[in-house]
């Protein structure tokens, strides 16, 4: 990306940059020093409230230039008010040294502004050690994993990531690549508050523990769905309105991944109107055209 796309002087003053050693060996065009006067002349700088301190203005402008909603970030992470620009600079430099691109910052910091006030040594280095040593992720793939789940950078390797991985492996998750590149949301989920309660809820629907574990291994997303907003209403419609047997869910747990209002209800209504009994996977997985053809074939 051309350096002009992110004028570095708008994020960090030349004084702070010269006083702060870079943690990255790669060219850091985003953070290269320029005269501070350019920063103060930036069109976004002047309209900022006159009572705001110069540092707060610089932080706000830095976030906005990266594509991050400054108001939302400051609200979600009040620590941004007091953190130094030098500290933010060290976080950005470190992430760049790990292969994260400038264009990724809007998504990463937008989703998790907490990362901006992380301590590189205490917080971020352990996360990358976890990715490398526990998940066996090659250095060149760090960017892919972080972009998939930025929350990894806001999670404690010791208190969150390692315990979650240990629990998931005990359940039977053996594919580390799948956990890293597809189901990384499971790694940032609390074992006690999220994973175990959802497993227990699924068991309460009439499945044995082994059946429940088999379901989540085939459809890991089950452990990421909200009980109240997803699992419960969909099961109530399945067992009540549709009057289907739970055995079908054991064979097709992906049912919970379809929209209740946009897919499950409309498709079920059409099958009822056609007078046909269509298998759950066929009813939900087929495209609109395939589904219509399926009903025509059944009617024929």
Mean pLDDT score, 121-125: 97
Cα distance between residue 274 and residue 268, in whole Å: 10
Q: Which residue has the higher pLDDT, 297 or 72?
A: 72
- The answer to whether the beta carbons of residues 230 and 253 sit under 8 Å apart is no
Phi and psi at 260, nearest 5°, equal: -65, -45
pLDDT of 287 strictly over 70: yes
Mean of pLDDT over the chain = 85
Cα distance between residue 223 and residue 225, in whole Å: 6
DSSP 26: S
**The pLDDT value given to residue 61:** 83
Residue 214: closest CA among 172, 245, 258, 256: 172
Mean pLDDT score, 168-184: 96
Distances (CA, A) of 94 to 58, 123, 125, 285, 287: 20, 12, 9, 43, 45
Mean pLDDT score, 117-131: 97
Helices (H) and strands (E) in the chain, counts: 17, 0
Token pair for residue 30?
A: 């985003």
pLDDT of 267 strictly over 90: yes
Token pair for residue 88?
A: 């933010």
Q: Which residues contact residue 268 at a Cβ distance below 8 angstroms, ignoring those fewer than 6 apart?
A: 241, 242, 283
The answer, as to whether pTM is greater than 0.85, is no
Cα distance between residue 208 and residue 217, in whole Å: 14
Phi and psi at 224, nearest 5°, equal: -105, -10
Weakest mean pLDDT among 19-28, 67-76, 230-239:
19-28
Mean pLDDT score, 207-236: 96
pLDDT of 269 strictly over 70: yes
pLDDT tens across 45-90, in order? 445 455 456 778 788 888 888 888 888 988 899 998 888 888 998 9
**The pLDDT value given to residue 8:** 40
**The pLDDT value given to residue 52:** 56
Token pair for residue 73?
A: 């970030």
pLDDT of 5 strictly over 80: no
Going by pLDDT thresholds of 50, 70 and 90, the confidence category of residue 299 is low
Weakest mean pLDDT among 8-12, 84-88, 166-170, 276-280:
8-12
Mean pLDDT score, 208-237: 96
């Amino acid at each position: 990306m051309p350096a002009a796309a992110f004028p570095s002087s708008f994020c960090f003053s030349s004084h702070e940059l010269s006083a702060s050693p870079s943690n990255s060996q790669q060219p850091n065009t985003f953070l290269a020093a320029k005269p501070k006067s350019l920063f103060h002349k930036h069109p976004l700088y002047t309209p900022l409230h006159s009572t705001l301190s110069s540092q707060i203005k610089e932080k706000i402008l830095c976030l906005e230039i990266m594509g991050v909603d400054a108001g939302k970030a400051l609200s979600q992470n009040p620590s941004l008010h007091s953190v130094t620009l030098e500290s933010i600079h060290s976080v950005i430099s470190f992430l760049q040294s790990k292969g994260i691109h400038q264009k990724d910052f809007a998504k990463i910091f937008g989703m998790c502004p907490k990362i901006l006030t992380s301590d590189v040594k205490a917080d971020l280095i352990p996360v990358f050690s976890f990715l490398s040593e526990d998940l066996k992720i090659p250095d060149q793939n760090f960017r892919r994993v972080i972009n998939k789940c930025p929350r990894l950078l806001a999670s404690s390797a010791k208190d969150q990531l390692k315990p979650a991985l240990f629990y998931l492996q005990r359940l039977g998750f053996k594919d580390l690549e799948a956990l890293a590149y597809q189901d990384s949301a499971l790694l940032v989920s609390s074992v006690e508050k999220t994973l175990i309660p959802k497993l227990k809820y699924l068991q309460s629907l009439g499945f044995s523990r082994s059946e429940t574990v088999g379901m989540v291994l085939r459809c890991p997303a089950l452990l990421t769905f909200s009980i109240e907003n997803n699992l419960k209403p969909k099961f109530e419609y399945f067992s009540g309105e549709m009057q289907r047997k739970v055995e079908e869910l054991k064979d097709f747990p992906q049912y919970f991944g379809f929209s209740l209002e946009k897919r499950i209800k409309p498709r079920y209504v059409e099958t009822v109107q056609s007078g046909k009994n269509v298998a759950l996977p066929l009813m939900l997985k087929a495209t609109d055209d395939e589904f219509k053809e399926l009903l025509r074939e059944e009617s024929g």
